[in-house]
């Protein structure tokens, strides 16, 4: 695979142009000094009294420490990404990583240190934990190709965005200043998700053969916290529902990003079947591999159905359905069998698909 990652020159030009645009307009970057005044006004004692049922003060400390410590390990992740960018000759990825992403991420742990100190944690203890976490080894498991690094980034950044949002919700009523800080970080993660999505889309557009490694990156995805903070990360599954995580929305958002990376329902359908094949899934008695072969023989329109079914299974069908009233009248003739087949696939998608996303805490 190492030898086969060669994007056409035009794709490299587009990726470089995208990074140029990001460098020129990186959005509302955080200046850690902007939190200084807010820090004085926070009353975090009140937060403990407003925690949802089932979450203890100790849990709150764990949730905030997970945010602080994964965010402080930026250099560990940045080194892993840059090393892969250089190995596969993707200067656009190095440039994004070193000039935009890493300096941005370096500001994300600051608010959490303020908040934890407001809760009574000692600076010296937090600094020691930060040092220890920065020294932990990290294995990038999503695959090494730039397309895999950026795919991993989409999921990682999205879940991190979600984590900061849930923290902001916990803090909002009792300590709005602290909630604002978490929201500032969340907004940066939203941008990171979208940038990685666009980078992945440009690579897939240039080389549809990347569907296979991109699917594998998604299947192998694991939160970096599993490596660097296993004890805290293992509590995330218990914390998420207590914090009010909306799993349906998370699944829907992730599927929407996948669809946007694939640009159309046909490619999204090919991608779904590639995931199913790599996962050894079946469509009724037939293996996903056999379905793939049958759809290849049909020339491909079937993939569109699978992609549409994927979107329908999470309520995103508006993304491909024509506007009401603008539908071609000839379409009605095909509608019934088409809908029936799509219904079959849709049921299969919702029953069988498992993106094995370890929905978890923050990281980047």
Binding site for Fe ion (CB under 5 A): 71, 105, 108, 157, 189, 192, 364
* Pick 348 or 364: Cβ nearer Fe ion: 364
As measured in angstroms, the least distance from the Cβ of 4 to Fe ion is 29
Give the number of C-alpha atoms closer than 13 A to the C-alpha of residue 327, restricted to the C-beta side.
Answer: 13
Distance, CA of 308 to CA of 269 (rounded, Å)? 7
**Joined tokens for residue 26:** 């990186």
* Pick 64 or 215: Cβ nearer Fe ion: 64
* Pick 103 or 244: Cβ nearer Fe ion: 103
As measured in angstroms, the least distance from the Cβ of 13 to Fe ion is 26
* Pick 97 or 148: Cβ nearer Fe ion: 97
* Pick 155 or 272: Cβ nearer Fe ion: 155
As measured in angstroms, the least distance from the Cβ of 164 to Fe ion is 8
- Taking residue 64's Cβ as centre, other Cβ atoms within 10 Å add up to 25
**Joined tokens for residue 229:** 């903070």
Q: Which residues pair with 286 in a beta bridge?
A: 283
As measured in angstroms, the least distance from the Cβ of 161 to Fe ion is 8
As measured in angstroms, the least distance from the Cβ of 192 to Fe ion is 4
Distance, CA of 94 to CA of 101 (rounded, Å)? 10
As measured in angstroms, the least distance from the Cβ of 29 to Fe ion is 12
- Taking residue 2's Cβ as centre, other Cβ atoms within 10 Å add up to 8
Q: Quick check: 186 and 168 in contact, CB under 8 A?
A: yes
* Pick 72 or 258: Cβ nearer Fe ion: 72
Distance, CA of 148 to CA of 203 (rounded, Å)? 10
Between the two ends of the chain, the Cα-to-Cα distance in Å is 27
DSSP symbol at 96: I
């Amino acid at each position: 695979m190492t030898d086969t990652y060669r994007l056409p020159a035009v794709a490299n030009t587009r990726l470089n142009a995208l990074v140029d645009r990001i460098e020129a307009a990186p959005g509302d970057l955080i200046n850690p000094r902007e939190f200084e005044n807010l820090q004085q006004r926070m009353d975090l004692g009140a937060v403990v009294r407003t925690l949802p049922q089932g979450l203890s003060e100790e849990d709150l400390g764990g949730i905030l420490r997970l945010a602080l410590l994964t965010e402080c390990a930026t250099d560990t992740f940045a080194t892993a990404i840059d090393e892969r960018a250089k190995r596969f000759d993707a200067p656009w990825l190095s440039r994004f990583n070193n000039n935009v992403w890493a300096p941005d991420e370096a500001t994300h742990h600051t608010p959490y240190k303020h908040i934890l100190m407001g809760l009574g944690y000692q600076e010296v203890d937090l600094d020691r934990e930060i040092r220890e976490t920065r020294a932990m080894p990290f294995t990038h498991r999503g695959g090494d190709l730039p397309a895999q690094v950026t795919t991993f980034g989409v999921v990682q950044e999205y879940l991190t965005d979600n984590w900061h949002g849930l923290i902001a919700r916990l803090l909002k009523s009792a300590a709005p200043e602290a909630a604002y800080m978490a929201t500032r970080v969340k907004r940066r993660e939203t941008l990171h998700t979208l940038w990685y999505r666009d980078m992945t889309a440009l690579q897939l557009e240039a080389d549809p053969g990347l569907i296979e490694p991109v699917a594998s990156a998604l299947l192998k995805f694991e939160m970096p916290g599993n490596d660097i903070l296993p004890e805290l990360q293992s509590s995330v599954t218990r914390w998420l529902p207590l914090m009010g995580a909306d799993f349906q929305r998370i699944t829907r958002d992730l599927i929407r990003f996948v669809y946007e990376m694939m640009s159309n329902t046909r490619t999204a359908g090919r991608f779904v079947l590639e995931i199913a094949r790599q996962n050894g899934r079946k469509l009724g008695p037939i293996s996903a591999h056999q379905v793939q072969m049958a759809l290849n023989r049909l020339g491909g329109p079937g993939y569109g159905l699978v992609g549409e079914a994927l979107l329908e299974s999470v309520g995103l069908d508006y993304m491909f359905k024509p506007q009401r009233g603008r539908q071609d009248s000839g379409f009605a003739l095909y509608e019934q069998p088409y809908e029936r087949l799509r219904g079959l696939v849709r049921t299969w998608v919702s029953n069988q698909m498992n993106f094995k996303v370890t929905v978890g805490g923050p990281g980047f």
